[in-house]
Structure 1
């Protein structure tokens, strides 16, 4: 048994302290590659023991190879997940007389000072906190990270899917430079559709020289999960169903917008259901209180956005419900995996659709699940804006960097081409973001003006935080809301909903962006800004197939869902076909090309048609997930001719065609000001494109 390769003390405590008769399959299979120092991707469902699969062999290496100082980083996407892990990892490290530390945005200055003086063996942290330590004048990177040997990236798929992943990879390259050695990288993830590609991405430039291992033992056979789809027509009706179902049990309810979470929580409480709330705009204390109370309670509901999708421990769950539908099968699997953990229980999930589009989306998602489909995790293309961010971060870290050598600190990480990186640094010199002297680059006045506030805090993260008003009840922070809640015209008192409770606004401090509130029984609502995310080709095409009659094997439909789905199918039947895309003139006079290709593929198709047949595509409302909108006299013949010309001019996959980008969209790209305008526009255009999906549409005849 490979478990015998672990340090004897670790083996002893696994049996005697944890009471485990044996390691789980993933843990058993991970021992050898992690002990060898391989880069690795460890895959298992939620609660599959991934943390122990990485930590037990790393603790053994600490002893066997006499590692001293801070040698292991454990990186998570959420502070709450780090808080949840700290006591568990503290127990494991104590077996060997080692220690764990915690450093993130909520860590107090006194704790940080102690960690700098007395470094732990394992540090739990986030990419943003690592960046802040590298650039801080209070931290000497070589002293803090000079002994680093390994990094564990938990929920690595959550990082890889957005710019935080690219930021993390850049920080890891800089840490390896500080340590003066390659650093072992271990990713932990639930099921993904492209395991090898995800591991290669995590390795970064080292993929060409370091051994890598995917560890993904076969899942233990068990009873099939119970998935059910219902149609309830409204959020209040969803609250009625949730409050009546499974009384006496602990229920976790997901909704994919903060506004829906708040409305649902208010409706549940009005029906006498003990309800807790979790989402990103609640204060840290509010979230912790809700999660702690939910973990200790029994007959209750917690309503959450995706913040509780990852592995935060909220105790033993009886049920998971979903209002609406997530956008990926991977999210469905994460949420489903929160149930069925106790012996004798089965994984289960109930979908409650509150409108027709939700019903069709949920049905499409369940169709993909029934087919065994899981999306590949695809990092955002062309992260050129992070080249500018990393150049400034290196200037803050080192004081000055060589104008022609600074990219060596990133070890060839593919954020941009060498030519693009040179253009970006030249642009930053022209705009005053950088200054130079004798070939050395350093932070310029425009960076000081734009990012210098609060020790360059905005420069340390790759994600954009929308400006929001802080909501205070006395001195206690409740959370944050969109400024529009404060500015829109209302009759009578201004009432907002936050934490599942209504609050009456008593005073607005416009200068400090704070609002003071007191509890009320009056009705209210809340709002948060945010751009809607396009659906993928896979999901939108599955919705098309459901409309054509696909039956979601393994999924139960209630009578209401069955009847309503029949109505939806009849309504959209003219827009779908088994093997063609359709151009239809509707009763309203609108003409649409029904592609069912998803928003990004339709963006490419609309741009291609506009390039070869100007005026064919409606310029005001160009496309959505299901169709491209055409001018009022457009015909199928005109679309066929334009498609043929586009394939001739751009090739069958429309290579190089990108959707147009508005000035408003550019504001959503953080650090766009660090890029020449054409590179910023091209970066967003590439990210709004799905050429594979567009090519699949082009292979279908237009009818």
Structure 2
């Protein structure tokens, strides 16, 4: 350790000796900057730095020093969204803290009750806990909360980006606020993340209402070389997706044509380039994880070599997932995981040589997070191998096929990644669902509260739900009463109702997010499989499933079933069910790439052929000047907005009696009866002049709005407002309409 490090000498001598013993040559930039800020215990701090840049140590080295300097024992609480990450951090911290004689306590569902009891007898040291276990502590040990956290010095929140704007993140905000209310003082918060697009939003999340006072440590200290290659494959045969309920060890039926399918050709290339090293492969669904795991294992069997390819997704058993994680961690044999976002966050899986992305990632932020797994060893590059699949063009291709949107979108995301841009978190959500949970939790903690006390605790100016008015809060409490979640005694105190007590006493209550649930797809009485749905669907909309386009006939929300029939071959799907909502910046970059002639060095010959074909068709169809396109039975609005803007625009038109469906390029409006294209253009002008509607009016009669765990409790107006706050961008839709009408370009 060089003498130029001023932060090193601020640390406790025992920690300094540990650093020397570990052979550290110097502190990282993030550590140098964060140590003096955290050590004071006077600031909330965000440490934003690349994966494997020492963020955890940037928080804990000074926090532990502060604990050692305290007059009596204290407590540091580390909140992580993943049990596996807690287990990893326990292993890292225990070696250091054992020397410091500071106990480290992992606390989640897999930890024994006797170990938890030992912590509770003397709640000091470092507590590593999930949001769900923290929630359980409030519900089951409410009267002891003040004593448990009486000597709390810091709260460290890991993977901050995974919480901002999410229901789980709002739950964490609420629990931290309730801790401070219980102990009657403010506790410094330290947020850690490798993927924060907007530091201001992150700071406001960490300390609501006081984000400007949060200290920011943003380290760009990385010398990692980045290598990217995008390979294109044209699908010449119709491929079948594996059924969703197949486990990874079962083999799907195959035909001779499957030998020529793009997925099989991709798997052969992956087999050749990945064997002998550790890698992560990210397809876009559990179904695709199963497909590629099967294809790669099958190739190993054919060549009679040891299989190095393992699956990892949320539907697999804990044992199978742990087998994959252990295969990646051990150094004796190479291993590659085919996974969903279950391996996207910071679980310690050792060094990974490369990241593989099959199809577009859910977002640029997700792609950045995944790429951070590679290139973590000194001197090794971070490697991204991406694969895009396009269907062979027919004699009369749809505009989506002709533009080669999959390849263009992947190229747009990578170009934005190289510029350092990624999506800012959604922070406008109303989070009514989590408010329902927190009302029930707070009543469990205190044994009952008056409605005014609940409002002050959860929805006053500096509480976690300040945007909820008193009228809305009272309406929500009444709705909870109607559903028997709450009851009121003769003195006016709110208690759990019969159903509320049943929910709170079950372990599933502690999670703010719902179990992963998908809609069944059924045609002619036959189930085709299941599909995740993250946007509003309506009867008559077209969806892509199992490589085919289907027309929605009916949506049964109670049974979570979508009834469909085959759509015409020349009708493109507007919803592809791949997960992730596309940001406007990505679509605008797609448009820029289609309009330019720039050669992209990260595309191989075939991928660049797709891009060139897209550019040729973009020019041929005069897409640069075209906003509205009359297609006979419908009118297409090419907006190039993100999903939130397109869905809002579709809702505005639906509210006026049109059948409007949003998709990749914009919005499609169906012509009904004697309707003309001019009628639709005139309606757009009227919407622009009249302005936006309130959410409850805009979404009146809409189906499948309930997305979050407790949305079923909400009255219709709050359900509509909650959905709009999370999924619609009315301002963006209205701005687009006003720009188009002002420029008078809404013509054919």
Instruction: Note whether the superposition's TM-score is higher than 0.5.
Output: yes
Which residue of the partner structure matches residue 440 of structure 1? 493
Distance 1:25 1:215 in 2: 9
What count of residue pairs does the alignment treat as equivalent? Answer: 635
Q: Does 1:345 align with 2:380?
A: yes
- Distance (whole Å) between structure 1 residues aligned to residue 652 and residue 526 of structure 2: 43
How far apart are 1:125 and its partner, in Å?
Answer: 1.1
Q: Which residue of 2 aligns with 1:558?
A: 604
Counterpart of 1:602 (choices 632, 646, 658) is 646
Deviates more, 1:677-686 or 1:19-28: 677-686
Structure-2 separation of matches of 1:552 and 1:103: 52
More moved, 152-161 vs 292-301: 292-301
What is the correspondence of 1:84-483 to structure 2 with a 5 Å cutoff? 84-137=88-141, 140-205=144-209, 207=211, 211-223=213-225, 225-232=226-233, 233=235, 234-272=262-300, 273-296=307-330, 297-355=332-390, 356-379=404-427, 381-410=429-458, 411-414=462-465, 416-437=468-489, 438-449=491-502, 451-452=503-504, 455-466=505-516
How many Å apart are 1:383 and its aligned residue? 1.1
Q: CA offsets, 1:192-224, max 9 Å, x none?
A: 22102211111124558xx4201113434454x
| TM-score normalised according to structure 2 size | 0.79
CA contact (8 A) 2:371 2:384 kept: yes
Deviation at 1:638, TM superposition (A): 4.3
Aligned to 2:746: 702
- Residue 56 of structure 1 and its aligned partner are, at CA, apart by 0.5
Which position in structure 1 is the counterpart of 2:30? 26
Residue pair 2:229, 2:385 contacting (<8 A) in 1 also: yes
Tell me if 1:679 matches 2:718. yes
Q: Distance between the aligned counterparts of 1:197 and 1:138, measured in 2?
A: 31
Q: Does 1:10 align with 2:15?
A: yes
CA distance in 1, matches of 2:344, 2:621: 35
Relative to the length of structure 1, the TM-score reads 0.84
Cα separation, 1, equivalents of 2:266 and 2:480: 52
Asked if the contact 1:669/1:684 (under 8 Å) is kept, the reply is no
Closer, same or farther in 2 for the Cα pair 1:484/1:372, shift >3 Å? Answer: closer
Q: Is the 8 A contact 2:50 2:222 kept in 1?
A: no
> 1:424, 1:676 within 8 Å by CA — same for their partners in 2?
yes
Q: CA deviation at 1:299?
A: 3.3
For residues 559 and 433 of structure 1, what CA distance do their matches in structure 2 show?
61
Measured against aligned partners, the alpha-carbon deviations of 1:55-81 in whole angstroms (never above 9, x if no partner) come to 001001101123525x11111111111
Shift of 1:643: 3.2
Alpha-carbon distance, 1:488 to partner: 9.0
Q: Give 5+ residue unaligned stretches, structure 1.
A: 469-481, 495-528
- Aligned partners of 2:285 and 2:578 also within 8 Å: no
Displacement of 1:162 in angstroms is 1.3
User: Does the Cα contact within 8 Å between 1:367 and 1:546 map onto a contact in 2?
Assistant: no
Question: Structure 2 unaligned runs (5+)?
Answer: 1-5, 236-261, 301-306, 391-403, 530-575
CA deviation after TM superposition for structure 1 residue 656, in Å: 6.0
Q: Distance between the aligned counterparts of 1:447 and 1:152, measured in 2? A: 32
Cα shift at 1:637: 4.8
Question: What is the CA distance between 1:540 and its match in structure 2?
Answer: 2.1
Indicate the residue corresponding to 1:543 in structure 2.
590
User: What's the CA shift string for 1:139-169, capped at 9, x where partnerless?
Assistant: 8323322222211111101011411100110
CA displacement, residues 600-651 of structure 1 (integer Å, 9 cap, x when unaligned): 111211222344xx34x325xx211322111337666545433332222217
Gap change, CA 1:420 and 1:378, over 3 Å in 2? same
Query: Are 2:702 and 1:645 equivalent residues in the alignment?
Result: no
Q: What is the root-mean-square deviation of aligned Cα atoms in Å?
A: 2.9
- Quote the Cα distance in structure 1 between the aligned partners of 2:98 and 2:165: 35
Aligned partners of 1:142 and 1:657: how far apart in 2? 41
